[in-house]
Structure 1
Amino acid sequence: MHVPGYAAPLMTGTLLAATCLYGMTVGGHWPQFLQTMTAYSGFAVTDVRISGNSETSDIDVLEKLDLNGWTSLVGLDVDAARDQVASLPWVQSATVRKVYPDSIEISVVEKTPYAIWQHRNDLVLVEETGELITPFRSGRHSDLPLVVGEGAAGKAQSIVARVAEHPALASRVASYVRVGNRRWDLRLLNGVTVKLPEEGADAALSYLADTEEATGLLSRDVVAVDMRLEDRLVVQLTPEGLKQRTEAVKEMMKPVKAAGRRT
């Protein structure tokens, strides 16, 4: 049997290569080796295209991908990359796609802020479902409804939608205050507080809107309008309003008193 002269070096090289591959596999270095080899072969990621983001910066997305300039497209785990991008505060969902030989396409769907929730001294943007998005730190979304108090975030959609059925009233609301996690107060822009009942808020709002249209009640010297009693509306006047009311009643009573003295 003739053995070629290069057989011994070939077998030695094969044994060394097998030993190295075995060592890399056992030591957990195989993925890194694969990344390096494919990157040197022209598959290093050099282009990342991001779409769908307006609140999330490109830099935030790239940081989640942890690219180092030699990251191989072949060894990139798109599922892990998608989960990392989806973990960003504003991201609702994300898709990551490889485009060979050297590009990644990322498409994100961002959350939609519905209201600003004030809880103690913190302001947080929340979704319509009440899920928290991110702290409110700028005027970018300052036109959103402000809801205040424990439980207000999860109930915001209901009260805002109810009040919106009365546009003239809705335009005057500064904040929606959740009281005892049971009912709502409306704080108006002029400082008046409207106390809505726990049950029958829709009927109370309709009555308030009609009363305001007919009398201009909310534009008068009023501190609060209490609608928690089913059969009546209680109005708390400002000190000046109370003084004027007292003087008006006295003027109204003068003819009555004069008639009494004549009789």
Structure 2
Amino acid sequence: MDGGGRVVFAVRSTDLRAPVARSGARAGLFSGVLPRVLRRPFRVLLRTGVSDMHVPGYAAPLMTGALLLATCLYGMSVGGHWPQFLQTMTAYSGFAVTDVRISGNGETSDIDVLERLDLNGWTSLVGLDVDAARDQVASLPWVQSATVRKVYPDAIEISVVEKTPFAIWQYGKDLMLVEADGKLITPFRSGRHADLPLVVGEGASGKAQAIVARVAEHPEIASRVESYVRVGNRRWDLRLDNGVTLKLPEEGVDTALSYLADTDRASGLLSRDILAVDMRLEDRLVVQLTSEGLKQRTAAVKEMMKQLKAGGRRT
């Protein structure tokens, strides 16, 4: 107590060591003199009972190992190595893909599908991105759509729906298989689809379905068509198996084909020595003869004229 009657406390470092010494016999955690800034938080911790905690001797190495592990995991995450780490760990745990089951593919080989999956023998089923795998398979030329499913622990099931070729499109020197809507599938390189309609010229692939359907309504003509030629991207020529060209009009195709079919049934027009039948005029057919046909026609006309003259003289 000072001369003014006030009570004065003198705080020494030994005073702060007292509680440490008392708790140190049990915890062995705190010792020495605390800096001034930590004295108040230290007293709060003492009141909460932290001094009664028992810290085992291996706590420091354990916490150090945990810190190092957390640092490694964080580094892999930031560096983008986490997926690779997960793939490796799960693959070695028995989840490596060893069985791939593919169904629905006829034009697409199993090898093509496997190459798109990029399996390396240690690809983990756990870390496999099925959406990315499906997109890779669906990008193959013949594939319309694909489904990829995981079958644990080590299998993948892939179901493929393939495109349907409708025609062979010739543009210049190139031959392509196309769908009914004209979308390209793949180059035509074998005779496997040689029985498909051959459409020729600019714009022919997108218009082929309509003309093939119209001609199919007249089987006697359709069975003889070798190619459908798009002219000026406006109308069609039909080239028959005997070399005859049928020139269809821009409008009224159905009427022109019906008239031609009736004429052919009545006179066998398409089996004669002709080069082309022009149906672009509404009221008539214009027939172009071959050179041999022209000779025969000329000879027939002369013979007919002779007969008419001879008959006139007799009368």
The interval holding the TM-score normalised by the smaller chain is: over 0.9
TM (norm. structure 1) is 0.97
Where does residue 27 of structure 1 map in the other structure?
Answer: 79
The one of 291, 295, 302 aligned to 1:239: 291
Return the offset for 1:206: 0.8
Identity between Structure 1 and Structure 2 (%): 87
Letter matched to residue 233 of structure 1: L
Q: Structure 2 CA distance, aligned partners of 1:255 and 1:83?
A: 79
**TM-score with structure 2 length normalisation?**
0.81
Q: Which of 12, 16, 31 is matched with 2:68 structurally? A: 16
In 1, Cα distance between equivalents of 2:255 and 2:93: 72
- SS at structure 1 position matched to 2:242: coil
Q: Deviations over 1:111-134 (max 9, x none)?
A: 000000000000000001110000
Cα RMSD after superposing both structures: 1.3
Report the alpha carbon displacement of residue 100 of structure 1 after superposing the two structures with TM.
0.6
From the CA coordinates, give the structure whose radius of gyration is larger. 2
Could you say which residue in structure 1 is the equivalent of 2:22?
none
Distance in 2 (alpha carbons) for counterparts of 1:168 and 1:255: 37
**Correspondent of 1:172 among 202, 219, 224:** 224
* Distance apart, 1:257 and its partner CA: 3.8
Q: How many Å separate the matches in 1 of 2:273 and 2:311?
A: 32
Aligned partners of 1:239 and 1:254: how far apart in 2?
23
Partners of 1:262 and 1:17 in 2: CA distance: 124
Displacement of 1:256? 3.9
CA positional deviation for 1:170: 0.8
Post-superposition offset of 1:40: 0.9
Which aligned segments of 4 or more residues in structure 1 are displaced greater than 4 angstroms?
258-263
1:49 match: 101
Gaps of 5+ in 2: 1-26, 28-53
1:129-208 alignment, distance < 5 Å? 129-208=181-260
How far apart are the structure 2 equivalents of 1:211 and 1:103? Answer: 65
Pairs aligned (count): 263
Matches within 5 A, 1:50-89: 50-89=102-141
Aligned to 1:215: 267
Question: Which has the larger share of strand?
Answer: 1
Shift in Å, 1:255: 3.9
2:116 aligns to what SS in structure 1?
helix
**Distance apart, 1:261 and its partner CA:** 7.0
What displacement does 1:196 show? 0.4
2:172 to 113, 120, 123: 120
Letter in 1 for 2:287: V
| 1:186-208 superposed Cα distances (whole Å, 9 cap, x missing partner) | 00011000000000011111111
Could you list the runs of 5+ residues in structure 1 that have no partner in the other structure? Answer: none
**Offset at residue 260 of structure 1 (A):** 6.5
Between the aligned partners of 1:114 and 1:80, the Cα distance in structure 2 is 30
SS in 2 for 1:140: helix
Q: In structure 1, what is the Cα distance between the partners aligned to 2:308 and 2:265?
A: 33
**What is the distance in 2 between the residues matched to 1:214 and 1:159?**
25
1:130 partner amino acid:
G
In 1, the alpha carbon distance for the partners of 2:163 and 2:216 equals: 22
Post-superposition offset of 1:258? 4.8
Tell me how far apart the structure 2 counterparts of residues 170 and 5 of structure 1 sit (CA, whole Å): 94
Q: In structure 1, the residue corresponding to 2:193 is in which secondary structure?
A: coil
> Distance in 1 between the 2:264 and 2:309 partners?
34
Letter in 1 for 2:181: T
Structure 1 residue 57: Cα displacement:
0.3
Q: Which amino acid aligns with 1:34?
A: L
Amino acid paired to 1:136: F
Q: SS where residue 304 of structure 2 aligns? A: helix
